[in-house]
Amino acid sequence: MTKWNENSVLQVERLTMRFGGLTAISELSFNAARKEITALIGPNGAGKTTVFNCITGFYKPTEGMINLRHPEGREFLLERMDDFLITRHAKVARTFQNIRLFSGMTVLENLMVAQHNTLMRASGYTVTGILGSPSYKRAEDAAIEKAKSWLYKINLINRADDPAGDLPYGDQRRLEIARAMCTDPILLCLDEPAAGLNPRESEELNKLLLGIRRDNDVAILLIEHDMSVVMGISDHIVVLDYGQKIADGTPATVRNDPAVVRAYLGVDEDEGADEVIAAVVASAVAEKPAAQVQTMTAPVKKRATKKPIPKKTTRKSMGRT
Amino acid sequence: MASSENMPTRKPYDWSAIVKDVAGSGIITFLILTPIVAIKTTLDQGALTFSSRWPLVFLLSAIVVAGRLLFHLFVWNRVETSNPAKASTPTLAIFSQIGKYIGPIMLVIALALPFIAHMFPASDKRIIDLAIYVLTYIMLGWGLNIVVGLAGLLDLGYVAFYAVGAYAYALLSTIYLPEWFGAGVVPWAFYLTFPLAGLLAATWGVILGFPVLRLRGDYLAIVTLAFGEMIRLVLVNWFTFTNGPQGIQVPKATFFGLPFKDDPNGFAAFFGIPYDRIHFYIFLYYVILALALLTYVVTNRLRRLPIGRAWEALREDEIACRALGINTTSTKLTAFAIGAMFGGFAGSFFAARQGFVSPESFVYLESAIILAIVVLGGLGSQIGIVFSAIAIMGSFELFREMSFLRAILPEGTDPIQFRMLAVGLAMVLMMRFKPRGFVSKRDPTVYLKEKKAVSADLVSQGHG
């Protein structure tokens, strides 16, 4: 189903992630291609963020392979790399569901920290930098120029010297994307970039993401609940439910896929719920202990009558771990 | 007081409420003081005798009543200014104006201090000695500031690196350097051991850093606390190496090989000036001033380099740092190492100044004082640390001077015994009214148009 073609940047192959007895993702395979926006969607708790955490090295997957290929042909097996090395060498950047800016540093400083590795090399790992070498000065100027160009793109050039924590919510979201882009990624992973944005801000975000796709040689992987964003800009959609892929294709095909409609929007209690439950139970029994099955069935019943509510990220939930 | 003409500055007195409040507080004071103050026990030839001190109780209660009444009459009835921001703006503006020049002004004062002290011939040595003492703590504060203020790693064992520096100087200059290079090297020992002491302390910083990399917050603080105690206990108990609690006599610092002694080979004889002990003090003063300025300049430069920004980013959000490809392990270790290095420099200076080291100088209280200086000054703020070091160390010394306190203190007590109590109280008050220290604003390291200080509310304090 997932073929490794020459445009592919990311290839996820039979990815499985278990936490104790809970299987968050099972046997997931999909590709993301360069200069394309791949959306990863699914109801709450489907395992989307877990996929991100596996790709960016925050979790080590239980099974499976995550292969990243650079345009010039170098390949990286991400499941074997440390999280910071994935960003540094494999060039994968990410944003977080709850914004993680350096709120006490200015907007410009945030973008400078993102260029840490380039600047670190230019400063001779601090040795020549502390002696005031002109080559570091040049590198720093170049870094500031790059930060400025991103600030123009996200429309925050006038707030460059303000602390990042002072920005409105929508601006913080865009700044986090710009910060991720300052690491020169090959693959950009965005975890719910439209969460908490109003329709106008969502529209701005769409424009920004389309601009990034147009101007940069980067594959974008997107988790999103906001369907106006997902359907409006994605080239390719992967739908997850209970850690399993239930659909994969263009927005048009995914939208009309009966499995997606059933999982995502829920089904009427009297029409098809029993069928869905039976299917889930059957698949669960095959590999899980009985206790697990019971907890698996409960939310399905509930969801059959309820639409999934898009998650709202509030200031309060941004507490750090 | 006379803020405006047509607006009443005081609310009318509500006498019944005032009387109730004053009487109430008087009664409460009396009730509290009765068991504490009124009954005094004395152990007299094996027998416990009671004596009463009722006049003191009444006196103290009267003070409370009078104080409360005065507050009612003059303080609590003031009309709140309608716009507090507007009222405080002029003072803020003045402060920021002063803030621009405060650094250079203090530097000029620091450079001229021996000459200023010269104007008071009776106490010139004491003034310079106190300045050396304060500057040592400023330097230690700046060193610890790298770890605690910038990288946000709470270190309660910083004195360990101070001890490593001091003992490195002591052991190298008395035993190892003469053994390796002959006795002629001893006058130069200070200059030879100095870089080594910093290097050794930095190595210990890394050694401490490794096991604590995975720890955060309270856990990190406890491990660093234990580390500080371990170093001290090793110094006490490893008798054959460190001479245990008896300490080591070490050669004092020399002026590039010229000792500060009253003999023909000494500093004074070489320059043909009459011998005076103050030469040694002035020399030490400029050495520690140079060292402290070195610490300041290096830290300031590091902040503007990627490593310094990574430290601050680490304090703000470690996970985001990793997501940006920053190696948090090496970033933490460099913070520990560089902070420790300055501690080591200060330690070897301390040994060269005292001419004697013993484990007694490196107790936990020292770590706590250095940390208090950093916290009180404002985490991450270098100029704030100068103020808090002067305030804390200066007030310690001030208590030695306050012999008039003897008049009101109980017999047999020395005002000096109250210094920790008073400083502790001052710190509690300070933290109540200015919880983020003297200078709580953060200076950005890079800017496009104008440098705007970041308010403390946004700056994270680190999670260890």
Quote the pLDDT of residue B72: 83
Query: In whole angstroms, what is the distance from residue A173 CA to residue A193 CA?
Result: 6
Task: Point out which residues pair with B343 in neighbouring strands.
Answer: none
Rounded to an integer, the average pLDDT of A7-23 is 84
Q: Do A96 and B319 touch (CB under 8 A)?
A: yes
Quick one: what percent of chain B has pLDDT higher than 90? Answer: 14
In degrees to the nearest 10, what's the CA dihedral of B395, B396, B398, B401?
A: 170
Quote the pLDDT of residue A5: 61
Q: Do A105 and B306 touch (CB under 8 A)?
A: no
Burial of B339: CB neighbours in 10 Å, binned 0-12, 13-18, 19+: buried
- For residue B150, pLDDT beyond 50: yes
From the candidates A120, A131, A179, which should be mutated to test the interface with B, based on the most B CB atoms within 10 A? A120
Minimum mean pLDDT range among A101-115, B79-93, B100-114, B346-360: B79-93
DSSP string computed for B100-122? HHHHHHHHHHHHHHHHHHHT-TT
- For residue B296, pLDDT beyond 80: yes
Query: In whole angstroms, what is the distance from residue A174 CA to residue A170 CA?
Result: 6
In eight-state DSSP terms, residue A285 is H
Rounded to an integer, the average pLDDT of A119-136 is 79
In a 3-state reduction of DSSP, which class is residue B324? coil
In degrees to the nearest 10, what's the CA dihedral of A120, A122, A126, A131?
A: -160
Rounded to an integer, the average pLDDT of A156-183 is 88
Interface of B with A in 190-219 (CB under 8 A): none
User: A1-91+184-256 architecture in CATH?
Assistant: 3-Layer(aba) Sandwich (3.40)
Spell out the domain ranges in chain A. Answer: 1-91+184-256, 104-182, 266-305
Query: Of B188, B171, B147, which Cα lies nearest the Cα of B374?
Result: B147
Across the interface, which of A100, A117, A157 has its CB nearest the CB of B325?
A: A117
Touching check for B445 and chain A: CB below 8 Å? yes
* Cα dist from B250 to B187, B201, B358, B415, B462, whole Å: 11, 19, 11, 32, 40
In a 3-state reduction of DSSP, which class is residue B356? strand
Touching check for B458 and chain A: CB below 8 Å? yes
- Rounded to a whole number of angstroms, the distance from the CA of A263 to the nearest CA of chain B is 32
pLDDT, tens digit, 9 for 90 and up, residues B324-349: 888 888 898 999 999 999 999 999 99
Quote the pLDDT of residue B138: 92
Query: In whole angstroms, what is the distance from residue B219 CA to residue B154 CA?
Result: 9
Average pLDDT score, chain B:
81
Touching check for B442 and chain A: CB below 8 Å? yes
Is residue A296 very low, low, confident or very high in pLDDT (cuts 50, 70, 90)? very low
Touching check for A131 and chain B: CB below 8 Å? no
| Amino acid type, B2 | A
pLDDT, tens digit, 9 for 90 and up, residues A203-225: 888 888 888 888 888 889 988 88
Touching check for B446 and chain A: CB below 8 Å? yes
Rounded to an integer, the average pLDDT of A74-100 is 84
- For residue B291, pLDDT beyond 60: yes
- Selected residue with higher pLDDT from B407 and A307: B407
Quick one: what percent of chain A has pLDDT higher than 90? Answer: 4
Is residue A139 very low, low, confident or very high in pLDDT (cuts 50, 70, 90)? confident
Helix axes B364-377 and B159-171, enclosed angle (nearest 10):
130
Query: In whole angstroms, what is the distance from residue A188 CA to residue A164 CA?
Result: 21
Beta-carbon neighbour count of residue B105 at 10 Å?
11
Region class of A100: left (phi > 0), else alpha (psi between -120 and 50), else beta: beta
Quote the pLDDT of residue B163: 93
Rounded to an integer, the average pLDDT of A272-294 is 47
Residues of A within 8 A of B453 (CB-CB) are none
Residues of B within 8 A of A100 (CB-CB) are 317, 319-320, 323
Residues of B within 8 A of A179 (CB-CB) are 324
Minimum Cα–Cα distance from A166: chain B residue: B458
pLDDT, tens digit, 9 for 90 and up, residues B35-74: 888 887 777 777 788 888 888 888 888 999 999 888 888 8
Average pLDDT score, chain A:
78
- For residue A66, pLDDT beyond 90: no
Interface of A with B in 40-99 (CB under 8 A): 56, 58, 83-88, 93-94, 96
Residues of B within 8 A of A84 (CB-CB) are 321-328
- For residue A4, pLDDT beyond 60: no
Quote the pLDDT of residue B329: 87
CB B187 within 8 A of CB B251: yes
Minimum Cα–Cα distance from A108: chain B residue: B447
In a 3-state reduction of DSSP, which class is residue B4? coil
Query: Of B350, B360, B167, B162, which Cα lies nearest the Cα of B245?
Result: B360
Is residue B8 very low, low, confident or very high in pLDDT (cuts 50, 70, 90)? low
E runs forming strands in A148-304: 187-191, 219-223, 236-241, 244-249
Quote the pLDDT of residue A243: 81
Across the interface, which of A109, A157, A180 has its CB nearest the CB of B445?
A: A109
Across the interface, which of B320, B442, B447 has its CB nearest the CB of A100?
A: B320
Burial of A231: CB neighbours in 10 Å, binned 0-12, 13-18, 19+: middle
Query: In whole angstroms, what is the distance from residue B138 CA to residue B295 CA?
Result: 10
CB A26 within 8 A of CB A61: no
- For residue B140, pLDDT beyond 90: yes
Beta-carbon neighbour count of residue A4 at 10 Å?
11
Residues of A within 8 A of B309 (CB-CB) are 105, 109, 112-113, 116
Residues of A within 8 A of B448 (CB-CB) are 108, 144, 148, 157, 160-161
Query: In whole angstroms, what is the distance from residue B243 CA to residue B358 CA?
Result: 9
Touching check for A137 and chain B: CB below 8 Å? no
